[in-house]
Amino acid sequence: MKPSLKTSISSLELSNPTVLASGILGNTGEALLRVAKAGAGAVTTKSVSLEPRKGHNNPTVIELEHGFINAMGLPNPGVEKFLKEIEIYKNSSVSKKVLIIASIVGDRISDYVEVALKLGKIPHALELNISCPNVETGLIFGRDPLNASELVKEVKANTELPVIVKLTPNADKLIEIAEEVEKAGADAISAINTLGPGMVIDIEAGKPVLSNKFGGLSGEVIKPIAVRCIYEIAQNVKIPVIGIGGISDGKDAAEFLMAGASAVGIGTAVKAHGISVFKKVCSELSEFMQRKRFKNIEELRGIALRG
Ligand code: RRO
């Protein structure tokens, strides 16, 4: 019999564990619908802020041998405008089966709260992005357990939606932060955001390639760090974890699930290989589970923690 790929993240039921990670194809309702129809179990929007943001000047993304480096600088049209895109998604019947997670970001707690209030119950869940390496304020919450905890408490007090908190690998107190956000009421954790900051220099021009000079690394190159982060987070909290970082095939997904993740976020691989990656990851994961006689995701989840 074919294994079941169903999974859940808090109250969110997913038909399979693949989730479109924030930042790729998450700018419009139409693009999010394309990803949902291509087989994702859930989709996450690009991070949205209270006011529109232009982002950094080009070049903002560079392809490397085994990944990407980006310093987009949070470009987005602001929550008022973005709400319409989420509504486009919600008005499609696909949204009943493939849930939409709104990634939100701010410079201060009141920004996150206002964005959450404006979004109301339109998305199915909120993801608090406290981990963007490309803006000064991105790490105020992501690197400090107390700030992260305060933020989660305030947002939780102002929304009825499940709250997922996206953590950064660029924090020396990762475990403490995970524990604090759990205590503050977070419903789930997603990890990791991009690694860094890193830098690439154009040796012909003798200057950094990114206009922002520094950027966050994503893709295959960061996978072992991401797996370790998920393993350590899952060892220390009970809330579900969405594992993200360099996942592009069924084996990668199995690795994150074994490290304790309940679902897997896919971002850079969509950029590199297209939206067929969701079906590919699911069919390869299913084959792997069948070969190893895992009947469902729950049997696979966290076995490396116990092994
Ligand atoms: O827009 C960005 O520069 C960006 C964001 Br919000 C993020 O969370 N992670 C990232 O690598 N880039």
The residue behind tokens 């220390």 is 236
Which residue from 112, 131, 132 has its CB within 8 A of the most atoms of ligand 1, so it is best to mutate?
132
Query: Nearest C-alpha to atom 8 of ligand 1 is from which residue?
Result: 132
pLDDT score recorded for residue 281: 98
Tokens matching residue 267? 């971002």
pLDDT score recorded for residue 137: 64
Q: Does any ligand 1 atom lie closer than 6 A to the CB of residue 26?
A: no
Which residue from 58, 74, 268 has its CB within 8 A of the most atoms of ligand 1, so it is best to mutate?
74
pLDDT score recorded for residue 1: 86
- Ligand 1 midpoint to CA 300 (Å): 31
Question: Which residues 6+ apart lie within 8 Å of 29 measured at CB?
Answer: 84, 85, 86, 87, 88, 89, 92
pLDDT score recorded for residue 138: 64
- Ligand 1 midpoint to CA 110 (Å): 20
pLDDT score recorded for residue 139: 78
pLDDT score recorded for residue 93: 98
pLDDT score recorded for residue 135: 80
Which residue from 27, 46, 72, 107 has its CB within 8 A of the most atoms of ligand 1, so it is best to mutate?
72
- Ligand 1 midpoint to CA 230 (Å): 19
Question: Which residues 6+ apart lie within 8 Å of 205 measured at CB?
Answer: none
Is 132 an active-site residue? yes
pLDDT score recorded for residue 239: 98
How far is residue 245's CA from residue 23's CA, in Å, rounded to a whole number?
Answer: 13
Q: Does any ligand 1 atom lie closer than 6 A to the CB of residue 74?
A: yes
How far is residue 166's CA from residue 238's CA, in Å, rounded to a whole number?
Answer: 16
Q: Does any ligand 1 atom lie closer than 6 A to the CB of residue 243?
A: no
- pLDDT, mean of each 10-residue run, the chain (307 residues): 96 98 97 98 98 97 95 97 98 98 97 98 98 81 96 98 97 96 98 96 97 97 98 98 98 98 98 96 98 98 93
From the CB of residue 59, how many other CB atoms can be counted at a distance below 10 Å? Answer: 17
pLDDT score recorded for residue 253: 99
Mind listing the pLDDT tens digit for each residue in 83-136?
999 999 999 999 999 999 999 999 999 999 999 999 999 999 999 999 999 986
- Ligand 1 midpoint to CA 131 (Å): 8
Q: What is the 3-state secondary structure (H, E, C) of 10-21?
A: CCEEECCCEEEC
Of the residues 5, 31, 104, 132, only one is catalytic, namely 132
